[in-house]
Chains A and B, each alone.
Chain A
Amino acid sequence: MTLVVIGFLWASICLYLLLGGADFGAGIIELFSGKENERKVKRIMYNAIGPIWEANHMWLIIAIVILFVGFPEIYTTISVSLHIPLVIMLLGIIARGTAFTFRHYDAVQDDWEKLYTKIFLWSSLITPLFLGIIAGSTVAGSIDRNGTDFVSTYIFSWLNPFCITVGIFTVTICGYLAAIYVIGETTNKDEINYLTRKARHTIIAVVLAGVLVFISALVDGIPLLQWIFGGTIGQVAILLASVSLLFLFFSFNKNKPNRLRVLAAFQIGMILVAVTYQHYPNILLFKDGGYLSLTQHTGSEKTMNSLGWALLIGSIFILPALFYLMYSFKKKDN
């Protein structure tokens, strides 16, 4: 049952990145749109994410609940050592979630909307940045369990070049996913061209940020290259990701938005496989060489069983409803 729980944990992180990440990306793209395109982008983005907006962010809650029920030691260690980035991320989530809803449900439209928009856009950037920093910190070996002073225990646990570049990489991935997903949301030729251009820019950004991650891993002495290319699964995943990127490039002008979406999601999923599988099941790597493992540091057997069943039964309710929700709103748009 532990494996089922781990599967759900991985899946919810992956879906949060693919769906919630694209929501962040929508804000990021809007932030980097020129004045003349801002309104246009905002409208398209809103149509795309409105109905499933709340649901996309539930994946994070599922992941957290799995962590604190099934892997309490991992959850509490992260909570203590990464307190500061977690708080910043939470502030981002609060600001973004409320500002998004406020700007669309305000009965009166006036200058307040500009304020909500500003908050929404900046928090769309900051939240995934810190999510990436947190993700980077778990494997960077920078968490010092035996730290004695504040700075080394609570600051340098996450503040280093590697974690920051992973944060930036996460931001670019979010922007990329959003740009690809929304191409199919409009039928206007100009808008499609504009969004395609945006999507190409984000691909360049993803690649550049990815290179930065590798460089900073070298600088910080993290064996990232070996993790990713050291095993067959990683090599295959990276190969598949590259092939799908290639396909994606040739599909831009084919007017097949769903193919673009699937390819992009698949590509990012493969990247996630490549970066997570090699040090699996060790999810937290410490400065002193120790680690916390998903298979060893679990809750009691009974807990894992009931958690596993709760997740299985829950997904019977959630998944069909969610897919039908996405399907029925996409169908209408196309």
Chain B
Amino acid sequence: MDDFLAARSQMAMSLGFHIIFACVGMVMPFFMAIAHYKYLKSGNELYKGLTKAWSKGVAILFATGAVSGTMLSFELGLLWPGFMQHAGPIFGMPFSLEGTAFFIEAIALGYFLYGWDKFNKWFHWFTGLVVGISGLASGILVVAANAWMNSPTGFDYADGVYSNIDPIKAMFNDAWLSQSIHMVIAAFTATGFSVAGVHAVMILRKKNIEFHTKAFKIAALCATIAALLQPLSGDFSAKDVAKRQPAKLAAMEAHFHTEANASFVIGGIPDEKNQTVNYGIKIPGLLSFLAHGDFNKPVIGLNDIPEADRPPVAITHYAFQVMIGLGMVLFFISALYMLALIKKKSWLQKKWLLKLFVIAIPLGYIALEAGWTVTEVGRQPWIIYNIMRTKDAVTPMPGIAVSFYIFTAVFASLSAIVIFLLHRQMKMVGRLYDVTAPSYQPKKKKA
């Protein structure tokens, strides 16, 4: 494995790993706060148990997200010094604010986890909410930094010199809004479906049914609302990408030739050599409509992009298809659930509905990772779009492959341990968190 590929793989893996924990950290605190609110309002001990159970999960996931985030702040320099040397002062503003948000999140988590019966109950509730709000803010800020790589602004560039730097303008670049809206909704969808699905499993196994039903309802409601909104934000993003990064859009859709009334390709195997897509289903005009809101407007194809500036087509296209496909599946499940809530109350008791949620456990996260792949691979060969190429940013240090293998091993074992720990949390619900269960027997506080 050559060093450049190793560096890219290591970065992709670190981000792909971190993104899951970051999203959970953004979303779970809100679920927790809802359950906590219901407990404070109703006095129902089940909700208190649920809040505690979820907060344990948040603690485990937050710790993992915190260290992988720390690692990323170093990795930017370890792997891409050429990039950071110039980009740091330009796109650093969201990072410095994110540092604050992340710090507040950690402090609030300290209050929340250790503050049961120590503080005024509403203050305690509020600290839990702050965990979520600051997590959300961190997420938006980091995505704003990433958006700058897609639509660099806030500086003048000539002959390798970056001048006239305006970090505020760089933060509010053209892509920040569409990207962060899409990311936040994706986080709610993915986390919501995972959480709801896991509780659905327990309901289907007839374990602590009342407890898990309460949990399921909170997560499922958030997840389905988010999944129903996501196509709107996706449309906003698509139009934005069409305007700013035509090469990325062309790669997403394996759109080889500029044409009016361009077709939207579903599935298919892109053949980059012959500049065509095999076996795909083509819907004429739809791509033009999605990109520009007009069936007849031409969409720029890869043939109008210099060969050296084209992103890898196959990966981008497949990732995009996976994201869209899974997004539609989740949309469909959400529509059914909404229908059940509003009109067909009897469906809520049906096993098939719960089973759909079980199937959906990984889907949101797969879609999220796929979307991430689209935006990152679709930006290649640039690290700063149209300014700096990724290969010019990589570290001169040789042997990055070794570090890639080491970190692969670390991330793989961490993922395994986290899943194992969460599984154990679920198994112990009856003992530790469900007051109505006959086996309820919370741990005595350690002296």
Contact = CB atoms under 8 A, between A and B. Distances in A.
A and B bound? Answer: yes
Interface stretch (B165-173, B281-289, B382-390): B165-173
A234 interface: no
Given A94-B68, A102-B421, A310-B93, A107 B165 contact: no
Interface string A310-322: 1101100110011
A296 interface: no
Given A51-B114, A79-B84, A307 B96 contact: yes
Contacts of B118: 328, 332
Contacts of B432: 107
A150 B399 CA distance: 10
A202 B111 CA distance: 31
A306 B94 CA distance: 10
A90 B424 contact: no
Contacts of A154: 397
Contact of A72 (B89, B167, B425): B89
A52 to B, nearest CB: 6
Interface stretch (A22-30, A224-232, A282-290, A297-305): A297-305
B43 interface: no
Interface stretch (B56-64, B178-186, B223-231, B314-322): B56-64
Nearest to A304: B89
Contacts of A70: 89, 92
A4 B369 CA distance: 39
Interface stretch (B102-110, B236-244, B350-358): B102-110
Contacts of A322: 107
B71 interface: yes
Nearest to B446: A43
Contacts of A57: 66, 70, 106
A302 B107 contact: no
Given A65-B73, A97-B66, A102-B421, A53 B92 contact: no
B335 interface: no
A73 B85 contact: yes
A295 interface: no
Interface string B404-442: 001000100010010001001101100010000000000
A301 B46 CA distance: 55
Contact of B414 (A64, A75, A94): A94
Contacts of A54: 62-63, 66, 106, 109-110
Nearest to A52: B110
Contacts of B95: 65, 68-69
A76 interface: yes
A317 B446 CA distance: 33
Nearest to A87: B403
B78 A87 contact: yes
A93 interface: yes
A61 interface: yes
Contacts of B395: 79-80, 83
Contacts of B364: none
A51 B113 CA distance: 8
A79 B397 CA distance: 10
A318 B107 CA distance: 8
Interface residues of A, number: 63
Interface string B75-93: 1111001101111111011
Interface string A89-120: 01101110110111001111000000000000
Task: Tell me which of A77, A78, A302 has the highest count of chain B C-beta atoms within 10 A of its own C-beta.
Answer: A302
A61 to B, nearest CB: 6
Given A108-B428, A310-B93, A322-B107, A102 B417 contact: yes
A150 B398 contact: yes
A92 to B, nearest CB: 10
A66 B96 contact: yes
A223 interface: no
Contacts of B92: 65, 68-70, 299, 303, 307
B100 interface: yes
B78 A310 contact: no
B97 interface: yes
A321 to B, nearest CB: 5
Contacts of B167: 302-303, 306-307
Contacts of B109: 54
B166 A302 contact: yes
Contact of B74 (A53, A72, A90, A332): A90
Task: Tell me which of B165, B414, B421 has the highest count of chain A C-beta atoms within 10 A of its own C-beta.
Answer: B421
Contacts of B66: 54, 57, 97
Contacts of A159: none
Nearest to B86: A72
A104 to B, nearest CB: 8
A107 B107 contact: no
B99 interface: yes
B293 interface: no
19 contacts: A55-B103, A57-B106, A70-B92, A72-B89, A76-B82, A76-B88, A80-B396, A86-B78, A91-B410, A93-B70, A94-B414, A150-B399, A302-B165, A303-B90, A303-B93, A310-B100, A311-B96, A314-B99, A325-B107
Given A57-B70, A93-B67, 16 more contacts: A51-B114, A53-B110, A54-B109, A57-B66, A61-B103, A62-B99, A65-B73, A68-B95, A79-B77, A83-B395, A94-B71, A97-B67, A97-B70, A102-B63, A299-B165, A314-B97
6 closest pairs, A vs B, by CB? A69-B92, A299-B89, A79-B77, A314-B100, A101-B63, A72-B88
